[in-house]
Amino acid sequence: MRASGAVGTRLHFQQELAELEASALGGLDLVIEQLDRVLESIEHQDIELAQLVIADDDRLDGRYLEVHQGILSLLALQAPVAGDLRLVAALLHVIKHVERMGDQCVNVAKLIPLSGHEPPTDSDILCKILQMGRFARAEVIQCKRSFAERNVPMAEDLVARDVAVNRLNREIFRLALDAGDDVDVREWAMIMTMVARALERIGDNAVDIGEQTAFVVTGLFREFSDAGHVGRH
């Protein structure tokens, strides 16, 4: 009877852990929703939609608390074995990166009203910002899939994907420096450099989630590295 009870407890633990993983990865779907809104806000200077992004951040904050507290409660009930402990530790990191991605979307949304309802824009900068956002969005999708499938090569490939995001960030900065003599255009361009920095951080967090995929599979933590990821936080 005692052995049977232990098996039942173990199965319950596994089920709860699987539900927490699904909830954490589901947070990435919320990030994609927020990112889609914020990119549309940038493209159309939609201040009302940007405000919705800010207001909706409560959902991501709630998801973070739900997963974080759920994991702590689970640990209080039963000490996990090595493989499960790796997953528990990784999920704590994953949900934190999810929350940070949401914060970056909010940071962008807060920047959008600063340039007014109809700011003068530079088409090259705007095009690169939107392209950067699409690349970052693809990274979010890929990091979720790599973790769910425990696919280390797919996780490692995030570094290569992130190179394009970093390159666009540098190009946007250079274009902003050469935005011309119009004060309003230069002000808008400087705001776009801050938007680009936030999008770059979303890509960085996607790579960080990829690193957690490798940790769950191998039991060893290592930072994926390339020249564009020195000093990632």
Average pLDDT, the chain: 90
Indicate the pTM of the whole model. Answer: 0.89
168 CA to centre of own chain: 18
Number of domains in the chain: 1
Summarize pLDDT for 28-65 with one digit per residue, the tens.
Answer: 999 999 999 999 999 999 999 999 999 999 999 999 99
Q: What is the pLDDT of residues 103-134, one digit of tens each?
A: 999 999 999 998 877 888 889 999 999 999 99
The answer to whether 137 touches 66, Cβ cutoff 8 Å, is: no
Tell me what pLDDT residue 126 has. 95
Range of 117's domain?
2-229
CA angle 232, 230, 135 (to 5 degrees): 65
CATH number of the CATH domain containing 180: 1.20.58.220
